[in-house]
Structure 1
Amino acid sequence: MIVSALLTSLGINFGLCILFFTLYSVLRKQPSNYEVYMPRLLADGLSQQRRFNLQMLLPTPGWVRRAWQPSEEEMLASAGLDAVVFMRIIILSLRIFCVAGIIGIFVLLPVNCTGNQLASIDFANLTSDSLDVFSISNVNNGSNKLWIHFSAVYIVTVFICCLLYYEYRYISSKRVTYFHSSKPQPHQFTILVRSIPVSVGISVSDSVERFFTQYHPSTYLSHVVVHRTGKIRNLIEVRAAFVSFKSRYGAATAFHMQQSVNPTQWLTEKAPEPHDVYWPFFSSSFMGRWISKLLVVLACISLTVLFIIPVLFVQGLANLAQLEVWFPFLKSILSITFVSQVITGYLPSLILLLFLKMAPPIMKFLSSIQGYISNSEIEKSACDKVLWFTIWNVFFGNVLSGSVFTQISILLEPKKIPAMLAVSVPAQASFCIAYVVTSGWTSVATELFRMIPFICSLISKPCVRSSDDEVEVPSLPYHKDIPRLLLFGLFGITYFFLAPLIVPFLLIYFCLAYIIYRNQFINVYAPKYETAGKYWPIVHHLMIFSLVLMHAIALGIFTLKKLPLASTLIIPLPVLTLLFNAYCSKRFLPIFTAYSAETLIKKDREDHNDATMAEFFARLETAYFDPALLPIQYSTNYDSRTSPLLPSTEV
């Protein structure tokens, strides 16, 4: 891609961002749009109707200041720990790319530009030059200047590992503190028991009562057998039950221990929050769940393979010569400078972005039939699926399409992979920059403007709405937004020493994301359920993967650039990085899997003399009734589900 095509893409997306910011600044002030731009404040009764004045029709930046003001503790109290973790991803990225940007722009970029491996830069006709002259490709083979890039790889690796350790430790402590500060929650005292053996003439309920009374006599409290409504019979018995205990430690002990000599019976799982239970899960048998998991794996693989088609099409659009071969009848149109710049600079990223929009809902559906018992686990699983689907198709599928898909045999020879990466990755730097601008800048501006809810609101306005109707408060789709943040982190880490020009565009994106998502957590989104920071291990592992990928690319680059000593000295870096990851997994990951006995017993002792615990245990006996089997309620207390100070956590 030439510089002029990138500038065209940059201009289009910059214009769209300004448009969305302006429209948001004006439309958010109109009382008729409160349900779109501040549904959370409206549901909490914190929004105020204002009289019309001229300022309501003028764009103002006051919302930026209000979004900047809340502290992290205030964000934690109002939006939950998951929201804090989401914002910490952005903060981590800003810290990484501030340092990488200083090194890349002020050190590496001048070194790249002074090389003469490629044609000299014609500053009088800069827009016609390829972006390769700004990359490491322009540094002469065997040049001692490549040691600057080598040093940059080491410095940034050490810096990122230090940040990752600090963040893992910080969020781990936040998770424990969040648990200690919470009020007693039903899921802290409850486990789910499946595959309950039932004898002839004995009900599931009786089996559960006998078993836990006999083997957990001092801690067993009560149970609720799961029932499901059926089309043929009014009520189906399911061989599963929510079993509650008198203490958190008692529930944890029952969860971690094998309950039966037969390991396929009395299977235990941690219970989710009552409103987080995914009830359709219980209608599947053990064999049905196993088959579903297999089908989901096959579906994910098939979807990834089929996505190669739009990826290859996008690659063809980015290559003007290839496009003229595919569509010779468009040659006269493609000869127009502006048209060719739009097609090669803006259209490929836009088309790929539109195709990728389909991935999150598909992956969430696939996760929902995989056997998870809670909505939060479904979303977390979907986040993993969307992340790796996106990385494979946008990075490996798109960036490396010319090598991976035409030379599949290379993947069977690991020794050749670094060389293949070294050739292919720098060549696609311009596409990655254009993708960051299109998928990053414009998407985050669209998030602020909330285009789809705004259009839906316009369509539904003619309908009469009762003042007693509840305001629908959405929750942030973590499975869609976290993968985008991490993909851009992958781009930045792998490209900062290859094509440092990408870093300023990433910094602008993360700065916009920081302000916009803080604004959305304050005004729009409310937590529906809480994982207490369980998304962070996904973030940590992806950052480690990005570092190792950068090391593999660096190994190939220095080999191709005839600097064998640098290639040799790079080899210890991925080994040390993986050892660091292993240490973090031993030190911090168990905290995200389950709370320690020390933590649980300390919390149980704090509640021992609490007079309200008797009332809590009485409510616990009915907390896990299937909502579909409860009497219909025509009036609900919405605030109990959306209160910003909801003391919810998970075990």
Structure 2
Amino acid sequence: MDITALLTSAGINIAICVVLLSLYSVLRKQPSNGCVYFTQRLVSEPVKYSDPFCLERLVPSASWIMRVWQATDEDILAVGGVDAVVFMRIVVFSIRVFIIAAMICIFLVLPVNYYGQDMQHKQINAESLEVFTIGNVKEGSKWLWTHCLALYIISCSACVLLYFEYKSITKMRLAHITGSPPSPSHFTVLVRGIPWSPDHSYSDSVEKFFSTYYPASYVSHQMVYQAGTIDKLMKDAEKMYRMLKTIEPQCGKSSMPCCLCGGTTHSFKVLNNEAESVKSKTSVDGLQPTQREKERPAAFVFFRTRYAAVIAAQVLQSSNPMLWVTQLAPEPHDVYWSNLSIPYKQVWLRKIATLLGAIVFMLVFLVPVTFVQGLTQLDQLSHTFPFLKGILKQKYMNHLVTGYLPSVILILFLYAVPPTMMLFSAMEGNVSRSERKRSACIKILYFTIWNVFFVNVLSGSVISQLSVFSSVRDIPIQLAKAVPAQATFFTTYVLSSGWASLSCEVIQLFALLCNVFRKFILRIKEEPSNCALTFPHHTEIPRLLLFGLLGFTCSIMAPLILPFLLVYFFLAFLVYRNQILHVYVSKYESGGQFWPIVHNTTIFSLVLTQIIALGVFGIKRSPIASGFTIPLIFFTVLFNEYCRQRFSPVFKRSPAQVLIEMDRQDERWGTIEEIYNQLRSAYCQYPSISPDLSTAGNTSHHEDKESSQDPESLTPGNQLVKLNE
């Protein structure tokens, strides 16, 4: 590939970015798109647009960029929580480290690569991109010390920045733990693997076990029940209620028959019924045969203090590790109820099965990746498909096929990866939505690194990919030969998957089309009540880390990728801040649990870069550069071990000192009883029927307080929807 093909790909993606960003600046001004681009504001309070039409709404502007740029980390923390701040710190870290890498490699390494051979250079626009890589440096060149020096500067800068980021985020996590108000999850332990007894119910077994071994700290428990007919009926009733509530104003405004219900004006009326009588008739005991048969071997156990809950969650409860398995409970909104019914003995089998499924999916994905790499090799493509020779001889088609088409095809195939990995993560038995998303994030990260980086680097045919190494010692040599050759493809991939994807992210194409269909086809004017989306950490974090891997590995091999990467990270800084501030809604908080994944992946990228450089210096017969690279690898590994010992435990366990101080503070403020009252209703599996299925081992159902008689405040379980004929 030559410079012209790269510029062709850059021009296409720049045009896409300019068009989509300009279109976004216009669409965000339209009042009808408020539920697409300002979901945060709609969730906090209803917004009514009464501004008259003006021409300014149809003129693109960059005012949103200035507002996003002026926002602070405190604004991000207030809106999106610690996870949102951690995500933005990933972007900021990438910008800082690759600014350093670009300054060193563009002004020091790139000239050495370009003049590495005694040859007659062409004009810049006709030059092949290979002359800008380390492959153009002749063997035994004394100028290879510049590459070794650049590698040292990049590695040391990345380690220093990683250290300060890890330290800062650790403090942020501790501040989140100490500064957050008392939450039911702080006092709750999830117990799984409860042993079955023919003489006692699961609830009796839980009460007996914890009242015996934790008599001073045990408060009560809440059993997990099998999702049956009642659960499905309640979900269907809630969906129907929301739909009818949305349609009601539209039916009332029109004097014509309603196209959906067939009624006339005010066909739908919400009638208030006696809440207590309905609740007493629709209790779980009344609708289901026996409560004991619906109990599952899992329960939420409540303790008097945070420290007691942590101790109970971390110790081994019995001599059989598969029984009485405890862990800190997730937040109530974070609980993934459908997986709590899975027997704990099946979890390890599910994890193995999903791991094998993910590996098979990765191997199947070799087919499209191999096809994509065939497009970058025109000689093989023309030989395989002779009828394409005439088309590929055209200069523009040549540039389009080699510079733009391969990365686009690969991106289209990659769209199937996130939902598949999310399905695998749900099947393996995760008990919280945040844990499921972290598991999917790791799977997608492994998948993209393997298929986008390694398979593309070692591409050719599936057989050659499987037999590319004759021994472990050949790995650095093979990577050293392949990475500079594939650097041009990675550059175009950054353009297509990076720049274009950010433009599509900010415009929210799918949500925009759904909104147009709902408002202009179905003629529904009310804003939807469930339009809020959570931030897709499981897709965006692997994308950032993959680009970081490409930047590190190609920095001294092919420095031309660095300017394109910097443009991507600067654009990501603006786009993601805008989406966090206005679009995505934080429904649960993990306290920065994604950062250890980022740290470990960055260390892996650095070590891989150093191993590849070691192989390159060996090929180029530079023993001095090779000798200096080996200590750098050991230094990076030792730095990672230090961070693992210094910071990583805070993300796995909560410090006892902090928890005890928080418990003492609750005693001084007298908030203990209020916290206990919240525990009884926080983890209710059937909130519309019975908020307290078991307290202190009692499985009788307590009635709620009298509900408000305002129809708008009633839940779907307390309302009857009547259709007038």
Give the TM-score range, shorter chain: over 0.9
2:518–2:524 CA contact under 8 A, matched in 1: no
Q: Hey, what does 1:54 align to over in structure 2?
A: 55
Report which stretch shifted further, 408-417 or 176-185.
408-417
| Alpha carbons of structure 1 residues 570 and 237: separation in structure 2 relative to 1, 3 Å | same
2:192–2:344 CA contact under 8 A, matched in 1: no
Q: Hey, what does 1:600 align to over in structure 2?
A: 659
In the TM superposition, what is the alpha-carbon distance from 1:43 to its structure 2 partner?
2.4
Residue of 548, 572, 576 corresponding to 2:607: 548
Q: Hey, what does 2:109 align to over in structure 1?
A: 108
Whole-angstrom CA distance in 1 between matches of 2:591 and 2:465:
44
- Tell me the alpha carbon deviations over residues 327-385 of structure 1, each in whole angstroms, 9 at most, x when there is no partner: 11121111111111111110100000111111111101100010110000000000000
Q: Hey, what does 2:80 align to over in structure 1?
A: 79
Residue of 210, 214, 217 corresponding to 2:215: 217
Q: Hey, what does 2:66 align to over in structure 1?
A: 65
Report which stretch shifted further, 275-284 or 372-381.
275-284
Residue of 193, 196, 211 corresponding to 1:195: 193
Question: Which AA in structure 2 matches 1:31?
Answer: P
2:487–2:554 CA contact under 8 A, matched in 1: yes
Whole-angstrom CA distance in 2 between matches of 1:400 and 1:411:
10
- Tell me the alpha carbon deviations over residues 558-613 of structure 1, each in whole angstroms, 9 at most, x when there is no partner: 11111122112211211111111111101111000011101111111111122333
Question: Which AA in structure 2 matches 1:315?
Answer: Q
Question: Which AA in structure 2 matches 1:475?
Answer: T
Q: Hey, what does 1:31 align to over in structure 2?
A: 31
Report which stretch shifted further, 196-205 or 377-386.
196-205
In the TM superposition, what is the alpha-carbon distance from 1:637 to its structure 2 partner?
10
Question: Which AA in structure 1 matches 2:357?
Answer: A
Question: Which AA in structure 2 matches 1:101?
Answer: A
Q: Hey, what does 2:255 align to over in structure 1?
A: none
**1:293 is aligned to 2:294:** no
Q: Hey, what does 1:9 align to over in structure 2?
A: 9
| Alpha carbons of structure 1 residues 636 and 447: separation in structure 2 relative to 1, 3 Å | farther
Q: How does 1:207-606 map to 2 (within 5 A)?
A: 207-230=205-228, 236-402=294-460, 406=464, 408-411=466-469, 413-461=471-519, 462-465=521-524, 467=526, 469-606=528-665
Whole-angstrom CA distance in 2 between matches of 1:229 and 1:449:
38
RMSD across aligned positions (CA): 2.0
Q: Hey, what does 1:204 align to over in structure 2?
A: 202
Whole-angstrom CA distance in 2 between matches of 1:574 and 1:468:
56
1:35–1:42 CA contact under 8 A, matched in 2: yes
Residue of 677, 689, 694 corresponding to 1:630: 689
2:298–2:341 CA contact under 8 A, matched in 1: no
Whole-angstrom CA distance in 2 between matches of 1:419 and 1:225:
58
Whole-angstrom CA distance in 2 between matches of 1:554 and 1:322:
29
- Tell me the alpha carbon deviations over residues 222-246 of structure 1, each in whole angstroms, 9 at most, x when there is no partner: 1001111336976621011100101
Whole-angstrom CA distance in 2 between matches of 1:580 and 1:429:
28
Secondary structure of the 1:241 match is strand
Whole-angstrom CA distance in 2 between matches of 1:405 and 1:395:
18
| Alpha carbons of structure 1 residues 315 and 69: separation in structure 2 relative to 1, 3 Å | same
Question: Which AA in structure 1 matches 2:197?
Answer: S
Report which stretch shifted further, 9-18 or 135-144.
135-144
Secondary structure of the 2:478 match is helix
Q: Hey, what does 1:97 align to over in structure 2?
A: 98
Whole-angstrom CA distance in 2 between matches of 1:453 and 1:552:
44
- Tell me the alpha carbon deviations over residues 625-647 of structure 1, each in whole angstroms, 9 at most, x when there is no partner: 11477369985799xxxxxxxxx
In the TM superposition, what is the alpha-carbon distance from 1:23 to its structure 2 partner?
0.2
1:403–1:424 CA contact under 8 A, matched in 2: no
Q: Hey, what does 1:45 align to over in structure 2?
A: 45
1:39–1:471 CA contact under 8 A, matched in 2: no
Whole-angstrom CA distance in 2 between matches of 1:35 and 1:563:
60
2:366–2:462 CA contact under 8 A, matched in 1: no
Secondary structure of the 1:193 match is strand
In the TM superposition, what is the alpha-carbon distance from 1:412 to its structure 2 partner?
5.4
| Alpha carbons of structure 1 residues 184 and 635: separation in structure 2 relative to 1, 3 Å | farther
Question: Which AA in structure 2 matches 1:28?
Answer: R
In the TM superposition, what is the alpha-carbon distance from 1:42 to its structure 2 partner?
2.3
Q: Hey, what does 1:153 align to over in structure 2?
A: 151
| Alpha carbons of structure 1 residues 465 and 48: separation in structure 2 relative to 1, 3 Å | closer
2:25–2:61 CA contact under 8 A, matched in 1: yes
Q: Hey, what does 2:163 align to over in structure 1?
A: 165
| Alpha carbons of structure 1 residues 556 and 469: separation in structure 2 relative to 1, 3 Å | closer
Question: Which AA in structure 2 matches 1:24?
Answer: Y
Q: Hey, what does 2:240 align to over in structure 1?
A: none
Report % sequence identity: 46
In the TM superposition, what is the alpha-carbon distance from 1:213 to its structure 2 partner?
1.1
Question: Which AA in structure 2 matches 1:19?
Answer: V
Whole-angstrom CA distance in 2 between matches of 1:27 and 1:140:
54
Whole-angstrom CA distance in 2 between matches of 1:553 and 1:261:
48
| Alpha carbons of structure 1 residues 410 and 337: separation in structure 2 relative to 1, 3 Å | closer
In the TM superposition, what is the alpha-carbon distance from 1:620 to its structure 2 partner?
0.5
Whole-angstrom CA distance in 2 between matches of 1:171 and 1:268:
27
Whole-angstrom CA distance in 2 between matches of 1:302 and 1:22:
42
1:403–1:420 CA contact under 8 A, matched in 2: no
Question: Which AA in structure 2 matches 1:104?
Answer: C
1:104–1:497 CA contact under 8 A, matched in 2: yes
Whole-angstrom CA distance in 2 between matches of 1:154 and 1:296:
40
- Tell me the alpha carbon deviations over residues 115-161 of structure 1, each in whole angstroms, 9 at most, x when there is no partner: 216x53201xx333210111111122111111011111111111111
| Alpha carbons of structure 1 residues 468 and 315: separation in structure 2 relative to 1, 3 Å | closer
Larger Rg: 2
- Tell me the alpha carbon deviations over residues 31-71 of structure 1, each in whole angstroms, 9 at most, x when there is no partner: 01111111211222375622211111100110001111221
In the TM superposition, what is the alpha-carbon distance from 1:480 to its structure 2 partner?
0.5
1:404–1:410 CA contact under 8 A, matched in 2: no
1:397–1:404 CA contact under 8 A, matched in 2: no
In the TM superposition, what is the alpha-carbon distance from 1:320 to its structure 2 partner?
1.2
Whole-angstrom CA distance in 1 between matches of 2:564 and 2:485:
18
Q: TM-score, normalised by structure 1?
A: 0.94
Whole-angstrom CA distance in 2 between matches of 1:545 and 1:68:
31
Q: Any stretches of 5+ residues in structure 1 without a counterpart?
A: 639-651
In the TM superposition, what is the alpha-carbon distance from 1:322 to its structure 2 partner?
1.4
| Alpha carbons of structure 1 residues 468 and 474: separation in structure 2 relative to 1, 3 Å | closer
1:35–1:471 CA contact under 8 A, matched in 2: no
Whole-angstrom CA distance in 2 between matches of 1:450 and 1:468:
17
Q: TM-score, normalised by structure 2?
A: 0.85
In the TM superposition, what is the alpha-carbon distance from 1:489 to its structure 2 partner?
0.4
Q: Hey, what does 1:644 align to over in structure 2?
A: none
Whole-angstrom CA distance in 2 between matches of 1:120 and 1:522:
53
**1:133 is aligned to 2:153:** no
Residue of 156, 181, 184 corresponding to 1:186: 184
Question: Which AA in structure 1 matches 2:622?
Answer: L
Secondary structure of the 2:35 match is helix
1:186–1:623 CA contact under 8 A, matched in 2: yes
Whole-angstrom CA distance in 2 between matches of 1:81 and 1:339:
47
